[in-house]
Amino acid sequence: MSLPTFVRNATAACAHCLPPFRGLGTLCNKINSLTLGMGADSLATAKMRDGTTLLVDLTTRTEKWAFYSGQYDGDLISMIVSLLDHDSYFLDVGGNIGFYTVAVASSYRAHKGEGRVIAFEPFASNYQRLESNAQRNALEDYCELYNVGLSDERKECEITLREDFEGGSETGNAAIPVGDEKDKNFRRAPIMLEMLDAFWQEHQYQDRKIDVIKVDIEGHEDYFFRGARTVIEAQRPTILMEVNKPYYQAREVELDSLFLPLIPPDYVLFRPLGSGWTTLQSLHDCQALDNALLVPREKLDLPRYERFRKLADT
């Protein structure tokens, strides 16, 4: 092992053991840049706190913190696992390299559940890493992976390879174009899009119960909802949705008028607040980059949703 790689790995091991403190991220970023500059390989194995491992690229903003902290969206993934019926299905829409897919599939295995993860990732290099990360954790029997994106029509289109790719990475954050000004400086790659409604029927998945959906597709979430209306109305899953306001601002659309008609009746909305959650009346109350949790009202009576029921009752 080279000295730069040793220093980098030792830093990650120490960071895993330390409680979060101001400046830890800055310190890890500096050591990461220094060791990469000294010739350390950009690809590294992130040892996650749930016992899984992920191959990540340390030139990317999205992936490198998982290496140094051992977690990615840890609170959100823990919340999903705590709410999940492990005999039903979890859909990972925008699978990226497998942060959610691997963690949730590992939970299915631990619970010996009958359900599975179904993950959708349209960009080829991300999909290949997603597949590799599932395999390195021996999770092939607990997830199904598809190299397509979900939208409101079936078509071929392009995806922009965004900030993560600027350092030479082959994986990272990618987004369907939203406007010339926001997209003009990024390379593009071809992808295939499908509608969840058509996909579900063509694969004869009607007997599969979807319990939770996570959708994080960089400002394309409303298109997903339009292409998944029949499935969502029939299945009434809990939905964790990223709200990335800059993408919608670039499209010059108004969030509430765009999304609220797409959400079926009797859903209650929440968003993270500090170390907990709060009810959400308007998507305008979200931060610039935030998450919204959409819960069918009937699920609030389940014991695992108790904390959300208490919020909804106040």
3-state secondary structure 278-307: EECCCHHHCCCEEEEEEEEHHHHHCHHHHH
In degrees, rounded to 5, the angle at the alpha carbon of residue 23 between the alpha carbons of residues 75 and 278 is: 30
Residue 196: which of 221, 222, 232, 220 has the closest Cα?
232
Domain ranges of the chain: 3-69, 74-313
Residues 6+ apart with CB under 8 A from 93: 120, 150, 196, 213, 214, 215, 216, 217, 224
What's the Cα-to-Cα distance from 214 to each of 84, 88, 89, 99, 283, rounded to whole Å? Answer: 12, 14, 11, 12, 17
Look up the CATH number of domain 74-313. Answer: 3.40.50.150
The pLDDT profile of the chain, 314 residues, written as one tens digit per residue, is 789 899 999 999 998 888 878 888 899 999 999 999 999 999 999 999 999 999 999 999 889 999 999 999 999 999 999 999 999 999 999 999 999 999 999 999 999 999 999 999 999 999 999 999 999 999 999 999 999 999 999 999 999 998 889 888 999 999 998 876 778 889 999 999 999 999 999 999 989 999 999 999 999 999 999 999 999 999 999 999 999 999 999 898 999 999 999 999 999 999 999 989 999 999 999 999 999 999 999 999 999 999 999 999 88
SS3 89: strand
pTM of the entire predicted model: 0.95
Structure confidence at residue 117 (pLDDT): 99
| Residue bearing tokens 């919204």 | 292
Residue 164: which of 173, 155, 153 has the closest Cα?
173
252-258 long-range CB contacts below 8 Å, 24 or more apart?
Answer: 253/222, 255/282, 255/283, 255/284, 255/286, 256/282, 256/283, 256/284, 258/222
Residue pair 28/35 in contact (Cβ under 8 Å)? The answer is: no
Residue 168: which of 203, 125, 105, 210 has the closest Cα?
125
Structure confidence at residue 180 (pLDDT): 66
Cα 199 to Cα 152: distance, rounded to the nearest angstrom: 11
CB atoms within 10 A of CB 177: 17
